[in-house]
Structure 1
Amino acid sequence: MLRRLAHACLGGLAASVVVVGVGVSPAHAESYSTVSSAIADLPVASESRTGYDRDAFKHWVDADGDGCDTRDEVLIAEADDPVSVGSSCSLSGGRWFSYYDGVSQTSASDLDIDHMVPLAEAWDSGASSWTAAEREAYANDLGDSRSLVAVTAAENRSKSDGDIADWVPGREQCRYLKEFVAVKLRWRLSVDSAEKSAMTSLAGGCSGSITVTRAR
């Protein structure tokens, strides 16, 4: 069973990670002493959704062939109470905490797996030029625990495909910002001017460092 490889640090979920991906080679880790310095390293570029198709990102694959797809792997990894894994990766038991809204769930079916940087936003920010293998690796990134997160379905659908300028959760906004920035850096995605401005404004109230291992 694939495991997401990361360790959380006080003040910001800075993570040291190993890449687990399809057609992607690991790279060196980069550390930023502040949130603002990490944001400053994000390239600014205009965004275009021309040609976007969600199916261009093959997701919820069973990369290791154990019967559990990416969605299942995230649910198993993030469960606060142990999950029993049955045949065909049927899950029972378990309890999950959706940090976007501070709600605990005991039913896996009530949870969505959120791509921290939505697929459409990734496309806009550089993924349109990636290979199919790179997009698949991105959509199933178990190498960094910040890339995919189990949250209540309502929060995920409220977020939709928004970036930081469009949507932030009602709680733990600094954690959310750090994770969003980390994923953008990890995958060498750009930001548009409105997004970078929103990130910079929000970062003023956030402390802690960010460590990222590049996925490409």
Structure 2
Amino acid sequence: MVPLAEAWDSGASAWTKNRRVAYANYLQDPRHLVAVTARSNRSNRSNRSNRSKSDQDPATWMPPAPDATCRYTADWISVKLTWNLAIDPAEHDTLAALADTCPDQTITYTPAP
């Protein structure tokens, strides 16, 4: 969900190697690691869109499907909270605006060990 490079820029650069490995391989919560293949996308356009995400945060990239916005926003925030990762001002403003459009979305998380 939150790409490794984004996590690095958000605080993972100060983590131990073991914690970075734990983050990269965290499977206790399905929101953290979202595998995407060409077959799992509905079209080649979706695959290009996923690749275009790269290491961007919600201030510069959102899923192309409008019905995915609330879930994506909640999952992004959940992962950031789970790992105590920082958000930059543009990311904060975007997430706040998106959250306002998702009043029924619940954000849950458990701090990572």
Q: 1:60-80 deviations in whole A, cap 9, x for unaligned?
A: xxxxxxxxxxxxxxxxxxxxx
Q: TM-score, normalised by structure 2?
A: 0.84
Which of structures 1 and 2 has the larger relative contact order (alpha carbons within 8 angstroms, sep 6+)?
Answer: 1
Gaps of 5+ in 1: 1-115
Q: Give me the whole-angstrom Cα distance separating, in 2, the residues matched to 1:134 and 1:154.
A: 31
1:154 has 2:56 as partner: no
Between structures 1 and 2, the one with greater strand share: 1
Structure 1 ranges of 4+ moved more than 2 A: 150-156
Equivalent in 165, 169, 172 of residue 63 of structure 2: 169
1:193 has 2:78 as partner: no
Aligned to 2:29: 144
Q: Give me the whole-angstrom Cα distance separating, in 2, the residues matched to 1:121 and 1:169.
A: 16
Q: TM-score, normalised by structure 1?
A: 0.45
Q: Give me the whole-angstrom Cα distance separating, in 2, the residues matched to 1:150 and 1:118.
A: 12
Secondary structure of residue in 2 paired with 1:213:
coil
Instruction: Check whether the contact 2:10–2:85 (CA below 8 A) recurs between aligned residues.
Output: yes
RMSD in angstroms over aligned alpha carbons?
1.1
Q: How many residues align?
A: 101
Aligned to 1:24: none
Greater Cα radius of gyration, structure 1 or 2: 1
Distance apart, 1:150 and its partner CA: 2.4
Secondary structure of residue in 1 paired with 2:91:
helix
Q: Give me the whole-angstrom Cα distance separating, in 2, the residues matched to 1:213 and 1:137.
A: 15
Between structures 1 and 2, the one with greater helix share: 2
Aligned to 1:122: 7
Q: Give me the whole-angstrom Cα distance separating, in 2, the residues matched to 1:141 and 1:176.
A: 18
Aligned to 1:208: 105
Gaps of 5+ in 2: 42-46
Aligned to 2:75: 179
Supply the AA of the counterpart residue of 2:109. V
Q: % of aligned pairs identical? A: 54
Q: Give me the whole-angstrom Cα distance separating, in 1, the residues matched to 2:60 and 2:3.
A: 12
Distance apart, 1:208 and its partner CA: 2.3
